[in-house]
Amino acid sequence: MMEGTGIRPLFPLWGRPTAELAREMTAGGLRAQITCIDPRRLPAALAGKEYNDDFLKALPDEVDPCGENGEFHSFAFDGPMFNRPVDFTIGDTVERDGSFSLIWRQ
């Protein structure tokens, strides 16, 4: 897609083992909230949890620890790449279109 633009894309994460990457991200201080889960792949109770070592340990073996196959989605809110944490409040967990999602309140 970048062909002809003069821009050379870099994909430093492609091909890296995602279990290693997940541990590196949490150890490096990345903080994220699980915003949506696919209940066919994960227990509904994991919706709304923080993406941390406890969350990673709770994942079934067949689930990608970075959610690369659509098992879950997350919202990064703090870490070394942020000037300050994003202020947010978690609302209710709702079921929509077969997935469990969070409603955010600010």
Compute CA 50 distance to the chain's CA centroid, rounded to the nearest angstrom.
9
Q: Where are the domains of the chain?
A: 18-105
Please state, in angstroms and rounded to a whole number, the distance separating the CA atoms of residues 52 and 22: 9
Say whether 47 sits in a helix, a strand or coil.
Answer: coil
Please state, in angstroms and rounded to a whole number, the distance separating the CA atoms of residues 2 and 67: 26
Question: Could you read off the pLDDT of 66-104 as tens digits, one per residue?
Answer: 999 999 999 999 999 999 999 888 877 788 777 666 665
The one-letter amino acid code at 16 reads R
Please state, in angstroms and rounded to a whole number, the distance separating the CA atoms of residues 10 and 28: 21
Q: What is the pLDDT of residue 16?
A: 84
Q: How many residues does the chain have?
A: 106
Q: Would you say 28 and 80 are in contact if contact means Cβ atoms under 8 Å apart? A: yes
Question: Could you read off the pLDDT of 20-63 as tens digits, one per residue?
Answer: 999 999 999 999 999 999 999 999 889 889 999 999 999 999 99
Q: What is the pLDDT of residue 100?
A: 65
